[in-house]
Amino acid sequence: MDQENVVITDSETPSPPMKKTKRKVLALAVLAALVGGGIWYYRQALPYESTDNAFIEGRIVQIAPRIPGGIVELLVEDNQAVHKGDPLCVIQPADYEAQLAQAQASRDFSKARLDGALLGLDLTKISTSTTVDATTAALEGHKAQVQVAKNKIAQAEAQLNSAKANLEQQREIAKGAAAEAKRTHADLERLRTLDDKTVSPQQLDLAEAAATGAQAKFDGAKNAIHGAESAVKEAVAARDASTEMLKQAESQSTGAEAALEEAKSAPKKVELSETQLAAFRAELAQREAELTLAELNLAKTKLCAPADGRITRRSVERGNYVQPGQVLMALVEDEVWVVANYKESQIEDMKPGQPVTIRVDAYPGILLHGKVDSFQKGSGARFSLLPPENATGNYVKVVQRIPVKIVIDDAIPEGVLLAPGMSVVPKVRVR
């Protein structure tokens, strides 16, 4: 029989009970699939939040000099592993060694000046009271000498007046003696002119004796005058000597007064010395700061690794002249973590400390474990180079991404490279 002419009779048509049974089986199968899918979703998908917008992050330190100079030693290559403190390159140190020597000499000179000022201040303080006492005693002594000189002058003046009075008296006596000698001599000459009958020898002897006595008295008066004149001269000399001694004593007294005033100004000298001392201290502090700066600059000639890691993007060669801030190379530290950019609708139940499983695109067979560390205070778009200006133009709402930091708890397997920028897929258990 030809298949195109086959006609289904009523006896071959399925009965209604069989149709119902098939429908029930199909419905049960769909229900079982839905229940199974729900159970799987509840146990495997619902408790987790995952994203493929996640990358490995790490600290990248830009190595740059802080002083200018030529590179004389280059000690690392690209991708070389280094440890903290390892030298990377050396800048020519000769100029900075000379600056250090100059700073040390300046510091030593300032310290010597300060030490000298301290010694001078101590000596000034010690000698202040002694000088005042000594100059006061000297002034009193000179004043006493002035008084003694004045007394001697008064005494010399009295002696001079007495000598002058004595001289006048002796002159008056000499006048009288001269007159008496002249008279007796005249009497003697008159008697000698008379004859022997008129003048007796006795009278002539008496006259000669009177003349001789008067002459002797006159000569004595003249000698007394000479003595009185000598006494006057001596009194004048004594007065002049006393006057000179007074002048010297007054001069010494004036000098002692000036010395006393200078001694009394010693506290001001101490204050001035202390002011100079403060200036020397400030100068020394400045020189020590310059010395410290020179030491730091010399230490900066050697660039060392700030942490463990690998050198990348080295852009300097031996002999290059570098400037402060010029990037010479980069150091990628060994410590890495994950930054996952979750949608803002995914972080409702996410909290620090929740466990995370991490799959690395480069190593699909490796599963790492970690935990949520922290959330960025702001969306990624807000910190972009050109943040959106939602207040201008037409506004279209876009779901924002929130960077979430995830730390890796597992040790990195040997031979596995986790470098900043590599893609990963983290899955956070939030329930």
User: Which residues does 50 contact at the CB level (< 8 Å), separation at least 6?
Assistant: 425, 426, 427, 428
| Angle at the Cα of 361 from the Cα atoms of 355 and 363, rounded to 5 degrees | 90
Give me the domains of the chain, ranges plus CATH numbers.
98-279 (1.10.287.620)
pLDDT at 27: 81
SS3 content of the chain, % helix, strand, coil (to 5): 55, 20, 25
Exposure string of 201-230, with b = 16+ CB inside 10 Å and e = fewer, is: eeeeeebbebbeebbebbeebbebbeebbe
The single-letter code of the amino acid at 401 is R
Closest CA to 108 of 288, 295, 294, 273: 288
DSSP symbols for 232-268? HHHHHHHHHHHHHHHHHHHHHHHHHHHHHHHHHTHHH
- CB distance 405 to 342 below 8 Å: no
Residue 44 has pLDDT above 60, yes or no: no
- Reported as a single tens digit per residue, the pLDDT across 349-388 is 999 999 999 999 999 999 999 999 999 999 988 888 888 8
Total Cβ atoms within 10 A of residue 120: 14
- CB distance 213 to 177 below 8 Å: no
Least confident span in 37-46, 48-57, 161-170: 37-46
- Reported as a single tens digit per residue, the pLDDT across 240-271 is 777 877 777 777 777 766 666 666 666 666 66
User: Which residues does 75 contact at the CB level (< 8 Å), separation at least 6?
Assistant: 86, 87, 88, 89, 90
Residue 336 has pLDDT above 60, yes or no: yes
Give me 15's structure tokens: 């009965």
pLDDT at 41: 58
Closest CA to 94 of 72, 79, 114, 115: 72
- CB distance 378 to 410 below 8 Å: no
Is the model's pTM score more than 0.85?
Answer: no
Closest CA to 305 of 70, 58, 61: 61
Residues 187 and 203: their CA atoms lie apart, in Å, by 11
As a whole number, the mean pLDDT across the chain is 83
pLDDT at 252: 73
Residues 73 and 319: their CA atoms lie apart, in Å, by 8
pLDDT at 181: 74
Give me the residues paired with residue 3 across strands: none
pLDDT category, 3, cuts 50, 70, 90?
very low
Closest CA to 372 of 342, 401, 399, 416: 342
Residues 88 and 310: their CA atoms lie apart, in Å, by 11
pLDDT at 353: 95
H/E stretch holding 48: strand 48-50
- Reported as a single tens digit per residue, the pLDDT across 172-184 is 777 777 777 777 7
pLDDT top residue among 210 and 331: 331
